[in-house]
Amino acid sequence: MIAALLLATLFPLAEGTRWLYAGTTRGDYHRADVVRQVQTTMRVLSRKQVGRFEVAVVEGGPDTVSCEQVAEPRWILTVIVRDGARYYEVPNDELSTEAAVAKAIDDATPFLELPLRGRKSIGCEQADHPPMYCWTVEALPKRGAYRLVYRSNPTLETMEFEEGVGITRWQSVHHGSPCEVDLRLH
């Protein structure tokens, strides 16, 4: 019980919690010289306990900002599932039973596993060097702050996370066509 409360405070997903991000996008998938000032809000719309899982429906977020010329913020709903110390992002499906939630995360890789102290990676089971399609973890100088990096063939995503606060910075670089996103928590 105490461990569950500790984990809940490390990444607060209480209903109504919100984070405001502001920054820039560079590029529009065609031209690298297009720069836009953007902001988005990530907000927990609902949170419920489904068996052993904590299920939070989240609107927006730094990873929903793209380089496309669309009005921000983009209202995208996702679901964050906490299974013990692991956090998964899954599609916004009907997750009303413990079996449905278990099925939704069955083949998923967690994007976060808390606490981060002493952890080198999340979901990295292959021998790629550098690790691909998983998160690597490095501690930042501020206590409880970490940088997580996700490498794939098309993108490089960097998430700075502070325990007790949440995502404090989000950067994404698309390799194939010009698109860079850099957002900070405000």
Q: Show the domains of the chain with their CATH numbers.
A: 2-185 (2.40.360)
The pair phi, psi for residue 166, each rounded to 5°, is 120, -150
Cβ atoms of residues 168 and 184 within 8 Å: yes
Task: Tell me the pLDDT band of 9, cut-offs 50, 70 and 90.
Answer: confident
Q: Which pLDDT value is given to residue 141?
A: 95
Among candidates 174, 134, 164, 147, which has minimal Cα distance to 29?
Answer: 174
pTM: 0.89
Tens of pLDDT, residue by residue over 89-102, are 998 778 899 999 99
Tens of pLDDT, residue by residue over 30-44, are 888 889 999 999 999
Which H, E and C letters describe 3-65, residue by residue?
Answer: HHHHHHHHCCCCCCCEEEEEEEEECCCCCCCCEEEEEEEEEEEEEEEECCEEEEEEECCHHHC
Q: Which pLDDT value is given to residue 1?
A: 46
Distance of alpha carbon 147 from alpha carbon 160, whole angstroms: 4
Task: Tell me the pLDDT band of 175, cut-offs 50, 70 and 90.
Answer: confident
Average pLDDT along the chain: 88
